[in-house]
């Protein structure tokens, strides 16, 4: 029997595949991505951390199992430490100025994804929140697993890959998919709505890195 989470992924095509095979992914994983594209991408992606942590906090608050809260709590710690540290080191390595970092306006996909995260966090629905998280992290695992060794020399490229294909991250995405399988079927329409909107915006976010 096909998993509920997999049914949603299949229904999201072609956007899911377009995201995980995007030009951005191919250029990042081979180390040929232009610094200007990587700067724009990272500046915009870092804008998600505040709302993403709030979304994870809402997941922890609405989860119906202690074991789920423990997994989510650990992931909150990772985002707040290792991943945020990666951004700060990458900004420095790429010569991103404070003026550029804070002055660059949010792109339309950035605004849209932040809105989806806020909406899900405020919904009080664990199923809605897990639907958004399963997309946001599932797409990144899928493209991370597509990267071939040897990874690029620059830590800006290589570490962004390894943050999204290591065993801990694999297990966390499997946790999200299992949670979606568990709580999703009783909230199928709600989950489908959040899942589909998030997939499309994730693909548009990759597009935006090349649009300016």
Can you give the residue ranges of every domain in the chain? 4-208
User: How far is Cα 44 from Cα 109, in angstroms, rounded to an integer?
Assistant: 9
User: How far is Cα 9 from Cα 11, in angstroms, rounded to an integer?
Assistant: 5
Kindly give, in sequence order, each residue whose CB lies less than 8 Å from that of residue 121, ignoring residues fewer than 6 positions away.
51, 54, 55, 57, 58, 129
DSSP tally for the chain: helices H, then strands E? 13, 0
Q: What are phi and psi of 106, to 5 degrees?
A: -65, 135
CATH architecture of 4-208: Up-down Bundle (1.20)
**What secondary structure letter does DSSP report for 64?**
S
User: Residue 36: CA atoms inside 13 Å, Cβ hemisphere, count?
Assistant: 3
pLDDT at 32: 98
Residue matched to tokens 């870092």: 46
User: How far is Cα 1 from Cα 32, in angstroms, rounded to an integer?
Assistant: 41
pLDDT at 1: 87
Q: What is the mean pLDDT of each run of 10 residues along the chain (212 residues)?
A: 97 98 98 97 96 98 98 97 97 96 95 98 98 98 97 98 98 98 98 98 97 78
Region class of 147: left (phi > 0), else alpha (psi between -120 and 50), else beta: beta
């Amino acid at each position: 029997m096909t998993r509920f989470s997999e049914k949603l992924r299949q229904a999201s095509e072609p956007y899911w595949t377009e995201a995980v095979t995007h030009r951005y992914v191919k250029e990042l994983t081979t180390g040929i991505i232009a610094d200007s594209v990587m700067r724009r991408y990272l500046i915009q992606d870092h804008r998600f951390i505040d709302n993403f942590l709030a979304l994870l906090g809402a997941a922890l608050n609405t989860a119906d199992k202690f074991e789920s809260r423990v997994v989510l709590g650990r992931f909150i710690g990772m985002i707040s430490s290792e991943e945020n540290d990666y951004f700060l080191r990458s900004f420095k390595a790429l010569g991103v100025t404070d003026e550029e970092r804070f002055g660059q306006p949010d792109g339309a996909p950035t605004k849209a994804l932040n809105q989806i995260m806020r909406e899900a966090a405020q919904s009080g629905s664990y199923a809605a929140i897990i639907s958004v998280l399963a997309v946001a992290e599932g797409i990144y695992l899928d493209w991370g697993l597509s990267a071939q060794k040897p990874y690029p020399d620059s830590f800006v490229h290589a570490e962004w890959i390894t943050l999204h294909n290591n065993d801990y991250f694999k297990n966390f995405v499997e946790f999200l998919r299992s949670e979606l399988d568990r709580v999703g079927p009783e909230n199928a329409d709600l989950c489908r709505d959040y899942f589909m909107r998030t997939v499309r915006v994730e693909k548009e976010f990759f597009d935006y890195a090349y649009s300016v």
